[in-house]
Amino acid sequence: MLDPVENGPDGDTHVPQAGMDRRIERKKWPRKRLYWWAGLSVIILAAIGLVLFADPRSSLNVDQEKITIATVETGPFQEFIPVTGTVQPIKTVYMDALDGGRIEAIYVEEGAFVKQGDSLLRMANTNVQMEMMFREADLYDQMNNLRATRLAMEQNRLTLKEQGAEVTYQIGKQTRNFERAKALKRDGMISDEEFQSARDDYDYWIIRQGLVAESQRQDSIMRQMQIEELEQSVGRMQQNLAIVKEKFNNLVLRAPIGGQLSALNAEVGELKPAGARLGQIDVLDSYKLRAAVDEYYITRVKTGLPGDCEIGGKSYRLSVQKIYPEVKDNRFDIDLVFDDDFPRGIRRGQSVQMRLALGEPTTTLIIPRGGFYQATGGNWIYVVDKSGGYAVRRRIKLGRQNPTTYEVLEGLEPGERVITSSYDNYGDFERLVLK
């Protein structure tokens, strides 16, 4: 029979010698168990301490070198929008075919500089040529009619004048006969019949004189009216002929102004219909910028608004000269001109980035633009504590904005620091611990 095992007073196990029977007793709280319960108690107390004394807000550790911190400050704020303009000549004159025709000859090349009145190309149009010939023939016929009418009227005038002279002569003659007959009648030297005959002759020529005078007056009026009508008809035909001649002359396209022939849409032998665009001439005395602006700003953009751009490292001031009322694809066009000298070396069609001011500059509370706006919509931001160890979330209200800054209306004070970089990785954490 094996001897029972017992624990010694030092906790070690002893085997009794042979012949000795003893009862083995175990301690109630072994040392290892005490260590285990003590460690567990420390953990529980630490957890209770964290719950009671730690910040209840959710926190996230953030590397301070990977974020952008800006200071809230009071400064000038200028509301402006970025727009892209296209360089265009200060003035462009377009040339169209008035009546059309076949291109017979081209005198200059596209891109050449021309003077006012220079011939650019020549067209042929048989209809215009035939119309001019018919108009000339009609005018010559009408002018011949006018000359013939004037000749006939002049002959009639002379005939009436001759009749008037005859009447005057006869009246003088009959007046003398009548006066002599009256004297002889008083002396009883002629009969009543002879006296009456002399008086009838006198009365006849007096009446004839009135008729000739009235005929001359009426003839003069009718002659004047007829001549005026014929002259007006000739005048109208001359105007029509002048128009046809102008159409014929327009078959030779001439430069309406001096400048650069920036486009010439014609080839020899090509048939151009009436109204077809033949080319354009640019006046290169200066340039303007044409830009498309979002229709959101249509009520705020006015003529005279200032703008600026940078070309070749130099800044240039601009102003809105013209606003086009048509809205297309949710945008409308504006023209801006250079306030001072225009930059040298720019070319038609060149793109220029510029800023268009929408009002006068004001002094207000501002913060720089940043990626935080995409996540918050400008409704809240992380504000860095004065200690610089953490940042907490705070509700704010932003107003106007431009490509560099936001206007702060509520929620921030001058001198406070805020995180303006992107919040994409922060989720809904209320507190950021800056490491």
Q: Can you give the pLDDT of all 435 residues of the chain as single tens digits?
A: 344 444 444 444 444 544 445 555 555 556 666 666 667 777 777 666 554 444 555 788 888 888 999 999 999 888 888 899 999 998 899 999 988 899 999 999 998 999 999 999 999 988 888 888 888 888 888 788 778 877 877 787 788 788 888 888 888 888 888 888 888 888 778 888 888 888 888 888 888 888 888 877 877 777 778 778 878 888 888 888 888 888 888 889 999 999 999 899 999 999 999 889 999 999 888 899 999 999 988 998 999 999 999 888 889 999 999 999 999 999 999 999 999 888 888 888 899 999 898 877 889 999 999 999 999 999 999 999 999 899 999 999 999 888 889 999 999 999 999 999 999 888 888 999 988
Host domain of residue 352: 282-357
Domain shared by 176 and 287, yes or no:
no
pLDDT at 331: 94
pLDDT at 346: 86
Beta-strand runs (E) in 4-138: 6-7, 13-14, 59-62, 69-71, 73-77, 80-96, 101-106, 113-114, 119-124
At position 31, the amino acid (one-letter code) is R
- Specify if 43 maps to a domain: yes
Domain shared by 139 and 216, yes or no:
yes
CA gap 235, 342 in Å, rounded: 51
Classify residue 275 as left (phi > 0), alpha (psi -120 to 50) or beta. Answer: left
* Domain boundary residue, one of 342, 357, 372: 357
Domain shared by 137 and 225, yes or no:
yes
- Specify if 131 maps to a domain: yes
Domain shared by 348 and 372, yes or no:
no
- Specify if 85 maps to a domain: no
pLDDT at 102: 92
Q: What is the dihedral of CA 88, 89, 90, 93, to 10 degrees?
A: -110
Domain shared by 145 and 219, yes or no:
yes
Burial of residue 272 (number of CB atoms within 10 Å: 0-12, 13-18, 19+): buried
pLDDT at 33: 65
* Domain boundary residue, one of 323, 340, 357: 357
Q: pTM of the entire structure? A: 0.52
CA gap 186, 37 in Å, rounded: 187
